[in-house]
Amino acid sequence: MKTTAFDFEKITEKYGNDKTRLMDMLIDIQQELGYVPQEALPVLARKTDTSQAWVEQTLSFYHFFRRQPSGKYTVFLNKSVVSWMMGRERVARTFEEEAGCRFGEVSPDGLIGLFDTSCIGMSDQEPAALINGKVFTRLTPFRVREIVRNMRSGKPVTELSTSGYGGGRNALEVIRSEVRNNIQRKGPLLQDNYQYGEVLRQKLKTLSPEDVIREIQLSELRGRGGAGFPTGLKWEFCRKAKGERKFIFCNADEGEPGTFKDRVLLTEYPELVFEGMTLAAYAVGAREGILYIRYEYKYLEEHLHTVLRKLREENLLGKDIAGMQGFDFDIRIQYGAGAYVCGEESALLESAEGKRGEPRFKPPFPVEKGYLGFPTIINNVETLCDAVKIIHFGSEWYRSLGTEASKGTKVLSISGDCRYPGIYELEWGYTVNDILDMSGAEEVQAVQVGGPSGTLIGPEEFDRILCYNDLATGGSFIIFNQRRDLLRNVVLNFMEFFIEESCGSCVPCRNMPWLLKQKLEKILNGHGVWKDLEDLESWPGIMRINRCGLGQTAANPVISSLRNFRALYEERIQKGRSFDEGFELEKAVEESCKAVGRVPLI
């Protein structure tokens, strides 16, 4: 066994044998070996003074952690809705043919492992895959054949593809990625009218922490991750909370299918993100910051570290920041390992503490008892960028943008059936129709606003406006044209996503999406009766009692499609039948009769 020689203790020691750094240890092992071997577990348990079960519960939670060797090249092909729409099927088939194994397996020679994964934040350039952590976008059967050929000739993962680098910083030495930014429309946030560091160096000279919080409150900035909590209020709570240490978290775990704006912000504007964290630290009196970023964006690691180093050199991080005596703050990067639920802030904290990403009960809220039990701010990437610009240009300026009730702008991730998918920064208040025009979408059947946990709306609602009191969104905006089968291609895919991504803590979230999916399949297969529609309507009510936002919204694809596209369901319901479970005796006995060698007698 070559792994017995591997020095697991060196890895635990790198993180001070600290059990709250278990994620980092597992990620390092995974990175080194391509999987986490069983013999690592006792070592990790002993060195971190936990049990093997403790290590295992974390290890088994995240789908990028492999327990078995998963190929010299491990391919994770995205199975999100947009990936299917853009031709995933042919790409997957070609991978299987070329690699000689099916998805979920490793090729017989151990060279290539093929696996599915949920949305990897590339919806504007699908189908996309992660191969050994590197992103490959806009895959075609032709490119897959090329990639597999290069694998067979033993090329390193950086040389598998011959397509050029994506624009902007994607071409930097430290990224070298074919990912494209596709920034289609810049608003006040994305406009390059600001030199990073100015707020820390200039504005904070005359602003006390209380002034900063007041300014943010006056701007009426609300969380841009989707929940829309007033940012200034959050900061004020955290400032007032008592704690020996305080933490600033930036939530870069954007896992809502169809969202990819944080990826672009972190590629092009990381200085602004880190400055936002530093500003929040100044406001609440924190000295430690953590960027929690999804594993899918690990290809940005070197880039982000380079920026952090630069900021330290320029005295925008570290000790006595920008010459302010006693203002110390630094940031480390924490990776996830593949779990949508970790975007929920308390699950994110659990994960950052080295545990399963299961949401906590609230209260207490993170601002009182967050990371390691200390008061903690968790803000979305975009929110932190907004905060910097607000302090720079003033709350008055920010309040002049947007609508009466929703101030400022929102960065949207637009994908699906349109000519110009990508990033659009818009003031709140545009209608869905405006956005469809902008993105070059035609013959639109439906739009999914806010990702699977959001709403599916049809043309009669395209005059609704994007804002907190009409169509609120964390940024995901997926367009479906007339050719799409909404139930089979969209709703079913979303339900599979929620089944996969439930953390399993709350019973309704663990079971209901699965039951709803079964009902849906029954209807799609022509066995539906009216009672099934009644069930689909009445059952999801129980989802309210789930602990977190993911669980509470996990039935939304069914609820909103049933509300807005009821005809699609009704046309598939059998008329004149009140009961049909779709049971077919012939099929049910087929296998057992074969096994014992008899002819079925029906």
Task: Check: CB of residue 203 under 8 Å from CB of residue 283.
Answer: no
593 binds another protein (CB under 8 A): yes
**Segment near another protein (CB under 8 A), from 76-84, 364-372, 476-484, 593-601?**
593-601
Instruction: Output the smallest distance, CB 578 to another protein, in A.
Output: 7
Any idea which residue has 């940024």 for tokens? Answer: 475
Q: Closest CB to another protein among 214 and 531?
A: 531
Q: 234 to each of 223, 369, 424, 491, 545, how far by Cα in Å? A: 9, 13, 27, 35, 25
Amino acid type, 468: Y
Q: In which element (H, E) is residue 331 found?
A: strand 330-335
597 binds another protein (CB under 8 A): yes
Instruction: Output the smallest distance, CB 601 to another protein, in A.
Output: 5
Instruction: Output the smallest distance, CB 509 to another protein, in A.
Output: 19
Instruction: Output the smallest distance, CB 547 to another protein, in A.
Output: 19
Using a 10 angstrom Cβ sphere, with 0-12 exposed, 13-18 middle and 19 or more buried, the burial of residue 434 is middle
At residue 583, the 3 state secondary structure works out as coil
Any idea which residue has 């709703």 for tokens? Answer: 491
Instruction: Name which position in 93, 319, 488, 587 contacts another protein (CB under 8 A).
Output: 587
What is the C-alpha separation between 136 and 131, in angstroms, rounded?
Answer: 7
Q: 510 to each of 98, 451, 592, how far by Cα in Å? A: 36, 20, 31
Amino acid type, 181: N
Strands in 444-449's sheet, in edge-to-edge order, are 183-185, 422-427, 409-416, 476-481, 444-449, 455-457
Q: Closest CB to another protein among 227 and 588?
A: 588
545 binds another protein (CB under 8 A): no
576 binds another protein (CB under 8 A): no
Q: Closest CB to another protein among 483 and 598?
A: 598
Q: Closest CB to another protein among 108 and 600?
A: 600
Q: Closest CB to another protein among 443 and 591?
A: 591
Q: In which element (H, E) is residue 130 found?
A: strand 129-131
Instruction: Output the smallest distance, CB 587 to another protein, in A.
Output: 8
591 binds another protein (CB under 8 A): yes
Q: Closest CB to another protein among 567 and 601?
A: 601
Q: What is the DSSP string of 271-327?
A: HHHHHHHHHHHHHHT--EEEEEE-GGGGGGHHHHHHHHHHHHHTTSSBSSGGG-TT-
Instruction: Output the smallest distance, CB 507 to another protein, in A.
Output: 12
525 binds another protein (CB under 8 A): no
Interaction mask 37-56, another protein, x per CB under 8 A: --------------------
Token pair for 76 = 């994770």
What is the C-alpha separation between 76 and 299, in angstroms, rounded?
Answer: 14
Instruction: Output the smallest distance, CB 522 to another protein, in A.
Output: 10
Instruction: Output the smallest distance, CB 549 to another protein, in A.
Output: 28
What is the C-alpha separation between 100 and 144, in angstroms, rounded?
Answer: 13
595 binds another protein (CB under 8 A): yes
Instruction: Output the smallest distance, CB 585 to another protein, in A.
Output: 6
Q: What is the DSSP string of 434-481?
A: HHHHHTT--SEEEEEESSTTSEEE-GGGTT-BBSTTSB--SSEEEEEE
**Segment near another protein (CB under 8 A), from 112-120, 318-326, 372-380, 594-602?**
594-602
Instruction: Output the smallest distance, CB 105 to another protein, in A.
Output: 18
Count of residues interacting with another protein (CB under 8 A): 21
592 binds another protein (CB under 8 A): yes
Instruction: Name which position in 1, 5, 53, 601 contacts another protein (CB under 8 A).
Output: 601
Q: Closest CB to another protein among 53 and 602?
A: 602
For 31, half-sphere exposure in the C-beta direction (CA atoms, 13 angstrom radius) is 15
Point out which residues bind another protein (CB under 8 A).
578-579, 581, 583, 585, 587-602
